[in-house]
Homo-oligomer: A and B are copies of this chain.
């Protein structure tokens, strides 16, 4: 299941902020409300609310409604889409390096 470029933009950019990564770390242990999520941080709840909007736009979290609360939960599938993009190219690179090593090895043998 592939993802378009803008989703990758938003997903990776979302992870490029320590506050948002901390929010993800917290949400990996279970859903939480904005207030609960904001509690450990020194910044305002409005700022946290915006970080959560960024995560939601990136598809990394989903939000439901429970009275006046807006509980957030992590979306593992979106995380998986990001790792699989990275892994594609990492594996290609590793294969490439092994191939080059093999060629160098061959050259060395012929040389001796």
Contact = CB atoms under 8 A, between A and B. Distances in A.
Interface string A50-65: 0000000000000000
Interface string A35-79: 000000000000000000000000000000000000000101001
Contact of A30 (B29, B79, B85, B96): B96
Nearest to A87: B83
Interface residues of A, number: 37
Given A16-B12, A16-B16, A90 B94 contact: no
Instruction: Please give the count of copies of this chain that the complex contains.
Output: 2
Interface in A62-112: 74, 76, 79-80, 82-83, 85-90, 92-94, 96-97, 100
A9 B97 CA distance: 27
A34 interface: no
Given A9-B18, A13-B17, A29-B96, 13 more contacts: A9-B17, A12-B15, A12-B16, A14-B16, A24-B89, A27-B93, A28-B88, A28-B90, A30-B96, A79-B89, A79-B93, A80-B90, A82-B86
